[in-house]
């Protein structure tokens, strides 16, 4: 285990999402990927571990401890740092000695099993204070700084490991909304021990870019460089998508401006191969780095996992497919170009049998066929990770293809188009889809009311 007496840029992967934690086998595979990519830190904090958050005061039973011991041993074997995170913020009373004793008891149990590095997560919690804490400290930031300092001092007497926190407002938008109270970061930065690392996600929870000037201003406020919790590839907030594109939107100079960067990636473990590979090439780069090149290189290394029981899949088709699930704020260039071409064909007065339209249709059908053929993957875990999201893409492409057939069939000229396989309510149906039509996001992030859909649906039985 790496000793934190040596200043070290933390680089690695966070298991901190909402959803089923990764299996022990997946974690071992992760640690091997991390070593191959030159990363050094595994962060354990899955929200689904009840002892990590909901029942943080209760000790692990023997089976829970075995999982921690296996993680410690697996990381130590590979020279990786393991950071254990605990999330007491939902119901902690900062002035209650019993809660201080509870967190110390949790850390003792982990220290005894080889954990040396810790994080206190105070994110995703209400910023209301208990009256007793407000009377003593006057602000949430002051209460948290004092409480975390005491935990840090207690742990530092027993281990020289790194100690981290995630503050209650952890992005610029939260700070602007005064989440945590006025002057939260200034108070926290002044009160918190300088050796404690502070997480930050950037301008947003999921930040498209991380620019240097805001990081420099934040460093002054916190009185230390931040540690980046990077949600670029996180998908636990959107079950319809995943992100297998490159690490992007971060200048190389960012590495000199922060104490480290840890990725919080896709919930589905097997979909993180390319992001971790690309992140590793970013970290290794010195003066020049091409995010797209790192993506294609990672995709090439991932391609053998796409072996099927039938004819091999095309790498070019894999690129187009992966471009459909690229990054939160953009599709990859191949998918973007295909979407624009389809849109032009659908809205063009040209007949859909002209050569350009037929070429676009052929490209679309290759992508549809690729999605359909994923069912034949030998790696069933990879297929299961894809399945529900890819099914949606395949169905949309199938619907467009049926429209195309309708348009070029003289026998159906002038008749309305419908698809027997895409019926109302069973296709794009459900309550969520219905209410999604009510508010339309504008490009600036504001919303407008667009729907007068007052159809009550089936009569209520109540």
Q: In a structure prediction context, what are the per-residue pLDDT tens digits for the chain, which is 462 residues long?
A: 334 344 699 999 999 988 888 999 999 999 999 999 999 999 999 888 888 888 999 989 998 899 899 999 999 999 999 999 999 999 999 999 999 999 999 999 999 999 999 999 999 998 889 999 999 999 999 999 999 999 999 999 999 999 999 999 999 999 999 999 999 999 999 999 999 999 999 999 999 999 999 999 999 999 999 999 999 999 999 989 999 999 999 999 999 999 999 999 999 999 999 999 999 999 999 989 999 999 999 999 999 999 999 999 999 999 999 999 999 999 999 999 999 999 998 887 666 678 888 899 999 999 999 999 999 999 999 999 999 889 999 999 999 999 888 888 888 888 988 888 888 888 888 888 888 888 888 888 888 888 655 555 544 333
Work out the end-to-end distance of the chain between its first and last CA atoms, rounded to an integer number of angstroms: 60
CA–CA dist 12, 33 (Å, integer): 10
pTM (2 decimals)? Answer: 0.93
Active site residues: 124
- Contact criterion met (CB below 8 Å) for 119 and 165: yes
- Contact criterion met (CB below 8 Å) for 307 and 379: yes
pLDDT of residue 2: 37
Q: Which CATH superfamily is domain 307-412 in?
A: STAT; domain 1 (1.20.58.240)
- Contact criterion met (CB below 8 Å) for 208 and 231: no
pLDDT of residue 6: 45
pLDDT of residue 350: 62
CA–CA dist 316, 369 (Å, integer): 13
Extents of the domains making up the chain: 10-289, 307-412
- What residues contact 64, with CB distance under 8 A and at least 6 apart? 51
CA–CA dist 293, 102 (Å, integer): 49
Q: Which of 412, 411, 407 is nearest to 354 (CA)?
A: 407
Phi, psi for 228 (deg, rounded to 5): -85, 125
pLDDT of residue 64: 85
Q: Which CATH architecture has domain 10-289?
A: Alpha-Beta Barrel (3.20)
170: number of Cβ within 10 Å: 26
- Contact criterion met (CB below 8 Å) for 314 and 294: no
Radius of gyration of the chain (CA): 25
């Amino acid at each position: 285990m790496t000793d934190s007496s040596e200043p070290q840029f933390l680089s690695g992967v966070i298991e901190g999402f909402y959803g089923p934690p990764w299996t022990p086998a997946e974690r071992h595979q992760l640690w091997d990927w991390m070593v191959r990519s030159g990363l050094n830190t595994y962060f354990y904090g899955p929200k689904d571990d009840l002892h990590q958050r909901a029942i943080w005061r209760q000790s692990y039973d023997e089976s829970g401890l075995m999982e921690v011991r296996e993680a410690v041993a697996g990381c130590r074997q590979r020279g990786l740092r393991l950071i254990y995170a605990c999330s007491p913020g939902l119901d902690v009373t900062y002035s209650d000695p019993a809660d201080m004793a509870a967190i110390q008891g949790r850390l003792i149990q982990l220290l005894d099993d080889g954990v040396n590095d810790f994080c206190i997560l105070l994110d995703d919690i209400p910023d209301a204070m208990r009256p007793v804490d407000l009377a003593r400290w006057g602000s949430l930031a002051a209460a948290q700084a004092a409480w975390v300092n005491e935990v840090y001092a207690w742990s530092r007497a027993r281990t020289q490991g790194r100690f981290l926190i995630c503050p209650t407002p952890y992005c610029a938008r939260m700070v602007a909304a005064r989440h945590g109270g006025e002057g939260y970061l200034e108070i926290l930065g002044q009160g918190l021990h300088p050796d404690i690392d502070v997480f930050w996600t950037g301008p947003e929870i999921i930040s498209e870019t991380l620019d240097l000037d805001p990081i420099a201003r934040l460093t002054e406020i916190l009185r230390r460089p931040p540690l980046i919790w990077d949600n670029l590839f996180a998908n636990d907030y959107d079950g319809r998508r995943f992100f297998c594109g490159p690490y992007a939107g971060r200048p190389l100079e960012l590495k000199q401006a922060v104490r480290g960067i840890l990725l919080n990636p896709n919930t589905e473990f097997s979909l993180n191969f390319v992001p971790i590979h690309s992140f590793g090439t970013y970290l290794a780069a010195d003066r020049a780095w091409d995010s797209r090149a790192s993506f294609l290189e990672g995709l090439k290394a991932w391609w053998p996992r796409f072996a099927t029981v039938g004819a091999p899949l095309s790498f070019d088709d894999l690129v187009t497919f992966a471009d459909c699930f690229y990054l939160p704020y953009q599709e990859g260039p191949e998918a973007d170009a295909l979407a624009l071409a389809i849109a032009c064909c659908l809205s063009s007065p040209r007949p859909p049998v002209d050569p350009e339209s037929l070429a676009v249709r052929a490209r679309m059908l290759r992508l549809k066929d690729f999605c359909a053929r994923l069912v034949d993957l030998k790696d069933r875990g990879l297929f299961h990770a894809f399945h529900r999201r890819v099914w949606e893409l395949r169905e949309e492409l199938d619907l467009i293809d049926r429209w195309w057939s309708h348009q070029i069939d003289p026998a159906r000229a002038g008749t309305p188009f419908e698809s027997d396989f895409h019926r109302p309510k069973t296709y794009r149906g459900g309550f969520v889809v219905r209410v999604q039509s009510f508010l339309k996001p504008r490009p600036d992030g504001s919303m407008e009311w667009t729907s007068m859909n007052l159809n009550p649906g089936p009569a209520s039985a109540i």
